[in-house]
Structure 1
């Protein structure tokens, strides 16, 4: 086996120089995309490097030099890197563990030891703009990933950052911090963040990235350990986790990667986290995590996950975003580790078979992926238990919509029907109404209330509900509108109330109508 690759060194003085050099060079997401062009940039996102190599070939200015070095894994002449990092210099980059130089000559090759790339994103707290270091990927090394690989920012990381609620919190926990990206996001609206990971290499990368972003140890503390063990007995207002949720066979010959494999059979790691995270939540504290779960023969996905939510003793809201069959799932994660049928057909076949055998042993028919939001009630028993499937496009960031929905649930929960009838509501600004009529008919056959933001929900409304929502402008109470509809429809107010109030609660909860 190859020796374990080095990790970057957190040297604050040299990191100041690196930060200044990267800023002056324009090594940003926009800067890289301008150099590559749209076609090459999109290809690189698909792990296809050829267009990017062509776009940067022969270029001597800083951004293409840094892109070839840190994104493509190409060697660059020492003199070009020295020009791109004038304050830090090549020697300083070596001391930080970022590069390895073949010699001292101007044309001697310098190779990257880490992936260092610009990162920009928008979450519920606003825009972020950092540089993130991680291990070089398969694209740069040409080899399958090591089992101790430290992953950079992937699609799951971005999803979690965008769905996390971003109101002000006192203490946050990033469980399984990896390269530290969730801790960085949380640091902007939290007094102190604790990041934990079982991987010492991951913690070293997280420490480096936090320091490069200007986040000091007084705001972030990093601890080694598995799951909730490093913070047993402590309490947090926010817990975020992109845990090692990939369901991997515990079979000889199938590598287990620290960044994705929790070392337990099936979906046990996600189950244990859902059921146990309440032990570190303050009253009113929120935990949000991503996960996979098994859908076994004869069961709906919500039965299995719902039992975890029930066991947690917490408010629970689970959104299933995707469902894969066992073959699709196996192919996804075997390729993720760098094994392909083109590269090693025997290894591909053996691992594929191991995955299918593992799922068959537990009668698994499908694997779900989704977002779990849990909350410890401030007092009393849980009042929220919601498990739903939303597979269509959503408007990111979802964090504000999730926070608003939690608050709206509480608002509706505190009001009986009489109190709800006394409330004044108005239609949210992103809601439109769609009417579908048969040609020649006056009355619509279907009325849809469609949400433009958040989860993009479409709710079919009957005549009374559509009339109620249409009149919700904040001036009249719900009761006044219901009374008018009762007269108009000639059925009486009580009949209209019985028809519309349950649906109205759902519209409030989902943000289609909001209290004035």
Structure 2
């Protein structure tokens, strides 16, 4: 399928938005910090109040496309001199009723920063609940939300010849992937979503995003990609009459079958060594651990996969049901709220679901026997992009997988600059009862370590090899150096993969070789 939009109108709109200075900082300054935060909570009243009486182009654009409020034809023509009302209509962004222009979509600025610098796009999507004043349509196309930003921050900051974006929605992941990829193919089951994605690519001046309609891997049958990204419609939704099925969050699968299908099938569309990154939910059923379910999906792939799965959150069935019923526009106390929550709980009970996990999945098509199998729970807050850390951790894992213990002992390591140590003492006692290592970057892990490992980490200053340090610590602790090395080296490997320690210099030769 070919998705076509009026590219001339899109180019004209981009010129008008640029001329109005319709950018994140300018918009925030136009209506203030409090209204800006209110917009993020689905409240547009404070922003409209702050703009009341203003007719300058920025104010008109903010009212019309920023929050979906109406404006007069004269105001819109003045604010959009290149595009005009006719161009906005051609792009399906507005309708006209008499002398009033009514928004049918939103276009909001979206700032983003990565290893290649800062960029700001304009992202079009459907009107939100605040603008609609009611529930969303089943074919609603979501703008840039929390999940979108999370996945964007997870994408590996490394060059790729080709990237596949499954379930592209408004196209934000495809645009993000294009920062590092020569070619991006973006797919979706929704024709409406693909039209928004086409418009957003045009507004960004990007002509290298190819859009295809279809479910999961069907549109790319027989093709392979260096990278796959996906924020799929993973929300677990009851398959019963009367429960709304929103395309942006529900693909029509039962339970967590959608995520299972992506995990089992993604390896075949990856080039050897290619990486897939996605978000997902998984169920805990009658005592069966959710992460073990994901492990079984990985094992069921017809091609071998390295896997790094991070569970960030776990909700009980009631909390999960309430979250997604509210997301669809049904508020507590409303006519449908109790009925919909009940449908979710009944659906979970039928499968024996006791909890639902949410997290990040990183899968890599192994070039031999898989060497990476990390299934972790990390609910701690993280306040920065994880893409660079994931890339560094993968590189460290690969380097370590090729090192013998003797080579690791001959390696020189250094402590990462973001790592700190805390020692907790009982009053009056000299020896600490707890030694804790914390990292300020990466997953911001906190590890309790014993004195031997703490001493080794503290001594890793890029000067002496690990084996020399272990021998010195063994002498200090009056223990057998070989036994201490056997205990510490596996833990050193873990500290290197997780970013507490890093290599200095090239890989050493194997002393035994």
CA distance in 1, matches of 2:361, 2:255: 18
1:304 and 2:299 are equivalent in the alignment: no
1:153–1:181 CA contact under 8 A, matched in 2: yes
Partner of 2:384: 396
2:245–2:252 CA contact under 8 A, matched in 1: yes
Alignment map for 1:58-69 (pairs within 5 Å): 58-69=53-64
1:248 and 2:199 are equivalent in the alignment: no
Partner of 2:130: 139
1:111 and 2:102 are equivalent in the alignment: yes
Q: 1:185 aligns with which of 162, 176, 186?
A: 176
TM-score, with normalisation over the residues of structure 2?
A: 0.95
1:26 and 2:21 are equivalent in the alignment: yes
Residue deviations 1:193-240 (CA, integer Å, cap 9, x gap): 000111111111111110110011xx1111111110111111100000
* Structure 1: gaps of 5 or more residues: 1-7
1:264 and 2:253 are equivalent in the alignment: yes
1:9, distance to aligned residue in structure 2 (A): 6.8
Partner of 1:169: 160
1:487, distance to aligned residue in structure 2 (A): 1.4
1:395–1:455 CA contact under 8 A, matched in 2: no
1:9–1:95 CA contact under 8 A, matched in 2: no
1:74, distance to aligned residue in structure 2 (A): 1.4
Partner of 1:5: none
Alignment map for 1:288-299 (pairs within 5 Å): 288-299=277-288
2:95–2:103 CA contact under 8 A, matched in 1: yes
Residue deviations 1:73-103 (CA, integer Å, cap 9, x gap): 2111122222221222222222222222223
Q: 1:206 aligns with which of 197, 218, 224?
A: 197
Partner of 1:75: 70
Q: 2:466 aligns with which of 472, 475, 478?
A: 478
Q: 1:507 aligns with which of 491, 495, 499?
A: 495
Partner of 1:4: none
CA distance in 2, matches of 1:316, 1:184: 25
1:89 and 2:84 are equivalent in the alignment: yes
2:310–2:359 CA contact under 8 A, matched in 1: yes
1:245–1:260 CA contact under 8 A, matched in 2: yes
Q: Runs (4+) of structure 1 moved beyond 3 Å?
A: 123-126
CA distance in 1, matches of 2:117, 2:234: 28
CA distance in 2, matches of 1:123, 1:331: 35
Residue deviations 1:221-262 (CA, integer Å, cap 9, x gap): 111111101111111000000011010001011111111111
2:282–2:291 CA contact under 8 A, matched in 1: no
1:125, distance to aligned residue in structure 2 (A): 4.4
CA distance in 1, matches of 2:390, 2:133: 41
Partner of 1:54: 49
Partner of 1:465: 453
Partner of 1:237: 226
1:124–1:165 CA contact under 8 A, matched in 2: no
2:11–2:202 CA contact under 8 A, matched in 1: no
Partner of 1:150: 141
Q: 1:332 aligns with which of 323, 343, 348?
A: 323
TM-score, with normalisation over the residues of structure 1?
A: 0.94
CA distance in 1, matches of 2:152, 2:167: 14
1:497 and 2:485 are equivalent in the alignment: yes
CA distance in 1, matches of 2:116, 2:376: 26
Partner of 1:444: 432
1:419 and 2:404 are equivalent in the alignment: no
CA distance in 2, matches of 1:275, 1:175: 14
CA distance in 1, matches of 2:234, 2:113: 25
- SS of 1:33's equivalent? helix
CA distance in 1, matches of 2:158, 2:383: 19
Q: 1:456 aligns with which of 444, 450, 459?
A: 444
Aligned length: 500
* Structure 2: gaps of 5 or more residues: 505-513
Residue deviations 1:417-454 (CA, integer Å, cap 9, x gap): 11110001001111111111222222222111111111
